Chain A
C-alpha cells in the first residue's frame, strides 16, 4: 500500500521529483568528489614530500658563504638531523635558449641545480630520483604542462647544448606560487655553465622533529648565519604545493553546500505545497486514528527513494569522474598508492548527503503534528498567511499601474512564501559574483601592492652592490622614466623580547612613492617609524602604535610601528622604514619605476638587462601573472562553472517555484479573471512581483559578496600573507552582466511557468464550492 502511494506520488510530480533528484545527485557527486580529491591531495603530497625528502628549513643566500661555520652550527644544533648547502645557479631567462629561441618572455627566476646527495631530491614523474647524464637536462614540470618545453627539445646555455629528457617534480619550487624554478643537470655540466649566472646557496636542514621548526629558526637567526635571501619552512612548502588544488577543494565544498541548501529549499517548497493540497486528507487520516509516524512515513518514502538512488548515483559518478579533478594532483605529486581511504571518504560524502536530506525531511514533517483534524476537515484548506498591509493601499498610491501594484502587494503580503525563491536568487547572484570579484581583484593593477611590491611598471633587484655606484644618476637622467624609487634591503637584529635577539629583513627608502596597501595605519615617514608585514606583525604579536627595538651600530633604537601591510615576498616576514643607514651593507637594492607615456617598456627592460647583467628585472604585470597565473585560471574556471550552474539553477527553480505558485494561487487568479482581469494583466502582476524580487535579491547578493564573501575570500588569501583583502570588483560584470543574466533567465522561466495562468478556468475554482 505504502509502496503504491509513494510510486503514485513520484509519478504525479515528475518535474519536482526530477529536480530534487538532480540536486541531491549533484550534491552527492560534488561532496564525494571533494572527499576523493582531499584524500588524494593529502596522501599524494605527503608521499611526494617523503620521497623527495623535502627540507624542513631552507635559507636562501647569495654571496660569501662560510661552509665550515655552517657545518659546525648544524653539528652542534640539537634540532638538526641533516644539513646540506646546495648551489643553485640563477640564470637570466634570456640566457636560456630553447630550440634556438630565447626564453626571455618567462619572468620566473630560472636556475640550474644538480641532484642533492642526502635530501631535497628532484624527482621524475614516477617520483624516482633523477640522475641526469652529461648533456641531459630535466626541466621544471610546469613548463612541461603549459607546453613551453617537451621531451627531446634542445636547451642551450652558454653554448652548451642539453637534450630535454623529462620533467622535474620539485617539492620547493614546482608551485607557480614559488617564483624560482630549478632545471636539473649533471654536476659536471653545472660546473661548465656556472659562469653564466649568479650562484645562490640553498642552505637546507632536515630536523629531528617537524614541530621544532620555529625553535630552530630562532636559533638559526640568533647564530647570525648567512641569511640574505628568503626563508622557507616545511609548512610553507606544503601550503604552496597544496594551494591550487586546495582552492579547488574549497570551491567544490562551497558548491556542494549551496546545492544542498537549494535541495532543502526545493524539498521545503514541494512539501509545503503537498501538505497544503492534502490538508483535508491529512485531517481525515488523523481523525481516523492513523499515527503520525505512519503519516510521516508516507511523505518520507518518496524522498527516501529519491535520496538513496541519487546519492548512490552521485557516488558512482564521483568514482568514475574524479580522475578529471585528480589530473593536477597526479601530475605534480604522483599517484596516491592506496585508493581505499578515498573510496571510504567518497562513500562518507554520499551517506552524509543522504542523512542530512532525510533528517531535514523528517524535521520538516514534524509540522504535521500541528495540524488539527477538526480544523483541517472543517476548513479544508491551509489558511494562507496573507493579510493586507496597513500602509500599502491601492487607493493611496498614484505612481504604480494597478497590475504592478498588485504584483508588488502580492509579495509584500506573502514574504514567507517568496522567502525560498528570494534565497535561491541571492545564492545564485552570490555564486556568480564572488569568484568574479576574487578574479578581478587578483587581476587588477592594485593587487600587486598586496604582494609587497609598489604599483609601478618595472621592478629591478640588484643582488650585490657592484652595479649601484651610478644607479641614481642613470635613473635620474633617463628621459623615459617618469618616477622611480630606490630601496635598500638590509638585515637588522631586533629585540624579540628582553633577552632574545632575532633578525629581520627591512626595506629602507621612500615609502610614500609607490605605496603599498596598508591594512592598518600608514607608511613610515619619520626616522623612528617602521611598518611591519602582516605575517611579521602576527608572529611578533605587534600592532600599530607598539614599539620595536632594532639594533643599529650596536645601539638599541626604538621604532614606532606606524602600519601593517600585506606582503608575500621573502616569506612574507618583512619590515619597511624611512630612515637611511650607511653603516651597514645592503643585502640587495630594489628599484620600482614608472615610465613616461608611450615608452616601449619591453625595449627598456632589454636595455636595462644589458646594462645591469646581474640585476633581476621584472615587468610587474607579467610578474604577477607568473606568480598567480595558475591560481587566476583556477578561479576563472570556478567562476565560469559557478555562473553556468547558477543560471541553470535559477532557471529550474524559477520554473518550479512559479509553477507551484500558480497552482497555489488558482483561486485568486480565478477571482481576478471573474472580475475582468485579462491573462496579460494577471501575468503582468506576477512578472512585476518577480522582477522586484530579482532586483532585491541581486542587491542582497552583492552586499553579501562584499561582506561575508569578502571575509571568506580574505580568510583563504590571508594564509598567503595578504591581510585585509578588499575586493576590486569588475563593475561592468557586477552591475550589468550579472543582473542581466539572472533577469533574462528568470524572465524565460516565468514566461513558461505563467502560461498555465491562461488555462485556469474560473468555473473550476469558484463553481466547485457550490
Chain B
C-alpha cells in the first residue's frame, strides 16, 4: 500500500522561552491510502496540533511531513494553500461556513475556480452530494436557517466535493447530537468505502470505534495504537476504553 501521509520526528512547541508547552514531541506516523484513522487523547494531548501539522495548516518546528511523497516543509504558503485546496478536505467541530454566502455557494466555494467554465456541472455535482448527505433542498438557505447537523453535513459536502485524497476531521461530531453524529459517521464510512483516506481527531470512543486504526496520544507523544479487523462496534468501543484506561488517558 502507498503511504499517503508520512510524518518523521515532528516537534512543535508553543509559547515563549520561559513558558513553553510541548504540543508535539518527536511524533512519527504513517497512513496508507484508503485508511480510516482516528487519533484519540484528552484535551491538550496534541491531537489537534498533529492534525494541523499533517495538513500543513500549521508549521512544525522540526521534522518533516510528506503527503504522497511531497514534502510540505519545502512548500511556500501559496503552494501549500493550492495543495490543500486540491488534495485535502477539512471538517471541523463547528461548521466553518461564510455567513455572507448561502449553503450552495459555501459548498461550491473551494471548487469554484476549477469549474468556472462549466458551472452547471459543478452545481449538478454539488446537488448530488447534498442529496447523498441528506441535505437536499437547503441549497438556497442562509447558514442561520439550517440546523447544526445540516450545517455539518454541508461542511462535509464542501470538504469532499473536489474528491480530495485525504479528509481531515477535527472533532467533526463534537457539536452534534447523537442521531446527527451517527449519520455523519455513516457518511464518513461511505466515503472511506469509496476510496477516500480519512484522518479524524476525537476524544469520543464511539467516533473512533468507526475507524480501522486508532492512535492514542498523551502529552504530545503517540503512546499506542489499536488496529481493528472484524470486531463489532461495541467490542471496539470496549477495547478503546480499556486501552485508554491502561494509558491513563
A residues adjacent to B (C-beta < 8 A): 384, 386-389, 393-395, 398, 402, 406, 409-410, 412-414, 667-668, 670-681, 758, 761-763, 766-767, 769-770
| A-side contacts of B48, CB under 8 Å | 763, 767, 770
| B-side contacts of A406, CB under 8 Å | 100
Q: What's the Cα separation between A386 and B98 when bound, in Å?
A: 9
Query: Which of A387, A389, A402, A763 has most B Cβ within 10 Å?
Result: A763
Q: What's the Cα separation between A672 and B158 when bound, in Å?
A: 12
| B170 on the A face (CB < 8 A) | yes
| B-side contacts of A414, CB under 8 Å | 100
Query: Which of B85, B100, B108 has most A Cβ within 10 Å?
Result: B100
Q: What's the Cα separation between A679 and B81 when bound, in Å?
A: 9
Contact A770 B174 (CB under 8 A): yes
| A-side contacts of B104, CB under 8 Å | 393, 395
| B123 on the A face (CB < 8 A) | yes
- With A674-B57, A763-B49, A769-B94 as given contacts, are A395 and B81 in contact (CB-CB < 8 Å)? no
- With A762-B52, A770-B93 as given contacts, are A676 and B100 in contact (CB-CB < 8 Å)? no
| B-side contacts of A412, CB under 8 Å | 100
Binds A, one of B109-117, B211-219, B220-228: B109-117
Chain A residue nearest to B101 (CB atoms) is A388
Q: How many A-B residue pairs have CB under 8 A?
A: 112
Q: What's the Cα separation between A384 and B143 when bound, in Å?
A: 12
Contact B105 A674 (CB under 8 A): no
- With A384-B99, A388-B101, A409-B101 as given contacts, are A676 and B49 in contact (CB-CB < 8 Å)? no
| A-side contacts of B174, CB under 8 Å | 770
Counting from the closest, the 3 A-B pairs by CB-CB distance are A676-B85, A413-B100, A386-B99
A-B contact pairs, 10 of them (CB 8 A): A387-B100, A387-B142, A393-B101, A402-B112, A674-B90, A677-B110, A680-B78, A761-B57, A767-B170, A770-B48
| B-side contacts of A410, CB under 8 Å | 100
| A-side contacts of B99, CB under 8 Å | 384, 386-388, 413, 668
Q: What's the Cα separation between A673 and B58 when bound, in Å?
A: 11
Query: Which of A387, A395, A402, A680 has most B Cβ within 10 Å?
Result: A395
> Which of A394, A409, A671, A758 meets B112, CB within 8 Å?
A394
| A-side contacts of B122, CB under 8 Å | 395
Q: What's the Cα separation between A674 and B84 when bound, in Å?
A: 8
A380 CB to nearest B CB, Å: 11
Chain B residue nearest to A676 (CB atoms) is B85
Contact B52 A395 (CB under 8 A): no
Contact B108 A394 (CB under 8 A): yes
Contact B100 A386 (CB under 8 A): yes
Chain A residue nearest to B96 (CB atoms) is A671
Chain A residue nearest to B52 (CB atoms) is A763
Q: What's the Cα separation between A767 and B92 when bound, in Å?
A: 8
Contact A762 B57 (CB under 8 A): yes
Q: What's the Cα separation between A414 and B98 when bound, in Å?
A: 12
Chain B contacts with A in 37-86, Cβ cutoff 8 A: 43, 48-49, 52, 57-58, 77-78, 81-86
Contact A394 B105 (CB under 8 A): yes
Chain B residue nearest to A764 (CB atoms) is B58
Contact A766 B105 (CB under 8 A): no
| A-side contacts of B57, CB under 8 Å | 673-674, 761-763
Contact A388 B105 (CB under 8 A): yes
> Which of B58, B92, B201 meets A769, CB within 8 Å?
B92
Q: What's the Cα separation between A393 and B98 when bound, in Å?
A: 13
| Additional pairs, 7, CB under 8 Å, beyond known A388-B99, A675-B110, A677-B110 | A386-B100, A387-B100, A395-B122, A413-B99, A677-B85, A679-B78, A762-B57
B165 CB to nearest A CB, Å: 13
- With A387-B142, A762-B52 as given contacts, are A679 and B170 in contact (CB-CB < 8 Å)? no
| B171 on the A face (CB < 8 A) | yes
| B-side contacts of A395, CB under 8 Å | 104-105, 108, 119, 122-123
A381 CB to nearest B CB, Å: 11
| B187 on the A face (CB < 8 A) | no
| B-side contacts of A770, CB under 8 Å | 43, 48, 93, 170-171, 174, 201
- With A388-B101, A674-B84 as given contacts, are A767 and B49 in contact (CB-CB < 8 Å)? yes
| B102 on the A face (CB < 8 A) | yes
- Contact string against A for B residues 160-183, beta-carbon threshold 8 Å, 1 for contact and 0 otherwise: 000000000011001000000000
> Which of B101, B142, B158, B171 meets A394, CB within 8 Å?
B101
Contact A409 B82 (CB under 8 A): no
| A-side contacts of B90, CB under 8 Å | 674-675
Chain B residue nearest to A667 (CB atoms) is B96
Q: What's the Cα separation between A413 and B90 when bound, in Å?
A: 26
| B144 on the A face (CB < 8 A) | yes
- With A394-B108, A395-B123, A673-B57 as given contacts, are A409 and B77 in contact (CB-CB < 8 Å)? no
> Which of A386, A402, A674 meets B96, CB within 8 Å?
A674
A670 CB to nearest B CB, Å: 8
Chain A residue nearest to B104 (CB atoms) is A395
Contact B78 A678 (CB under 8 A): yes
Q: What's the Cα separation between A673 and B123 when bound, in Å?
A: 23
Chain B residue nearest to A414 (CB atoms) is B100
- With A673-B81, A674-B90, A676-B85 as given contacts, are A388 and B110 in contact (CB-CB < 8 Å)? no
Query: Which of B58, B81, B90, B143 has most A Cβ within 10 Å?
Result: B81
Chain B residue nearest to A766 (CB atoms) is B92
| B-side contacts of A386, CB under 8 Å | 99-100
Contact A678 B101 (CB under 8 A): no
| A-side contacts of B78, CB under 8 Å | 678-680
| B-side contacts of A677, CB under 8 Å | 81, 85, 110
A435 CB to nearest B CB, Å: 39
| B97 on the A face (CB < 8 A) | yes
Q: What's the Cα separation between A414 and B119 when bound, in Å?
A: 27
A765 CB to nearest B CB, Å: 9
Q: What's the Cα separation between A393 and B58 when bound, in Å?
A: 32
Q: What's the Cα separation between A383 and B104 when bound, in Å?
A: 22
| A-side contacts of B85, CB under 8 Å | 675-677
- Contact string against A for B residues 138-149, beta-carbon threshold 8 Å, 1 for contact and 0 otherwise: 000011100000
Contact B144 A387 (CB under 8 A): yes
Q: What's the Cα separation between A766 and B93 when bound, in Å?
A: 8
Q: What's the Cα separation between A671 and B90 when bound, in Å?
A: 10
Chain B residue nearest to A388 (CB atoms) is B102
> Which of B82, B92, B102 meets A678, CB within 8 Å?
B82
B105 CB to nearest A CB, Å: 4
A404 CB to nearest B CB, Å: 13
Q: What's the Cα separation between A356 and B12 when bound, in Å?
A: 52
- With A394-B109, A402-B112 as given contacts, are A409 and B58 in contact (CB-CB < 8 Å)? no
- With A388-B102, A763-B57, A770-B174 as given contacts, are A676 and B52 in contact (CB-CB < 8 Å)? no
| A-side contacts of B52, CB under 8 Å | 762-763, 767
Q: What's the Cα separation between A414 and B100 when bound, in Å?
A: 8
Contact B123 A769 (CB under 8 A): no
Contact A676 B110 (CB under 8 A): yes
Chain B contacts with A in 1-58, Cβ cutoff 8 A: 43, 48-49, 52, 57-58
| A-side contacts of B84, CB under 8 Å | 674-676
- With A394-B105, A409-B100, A769-B93 as given contacts, are A676 and B144 in contact (CB-CB < 8 Å)? no
> Which of A384, A388, A668, A676 meets B142, CB within 8 Å?
A388
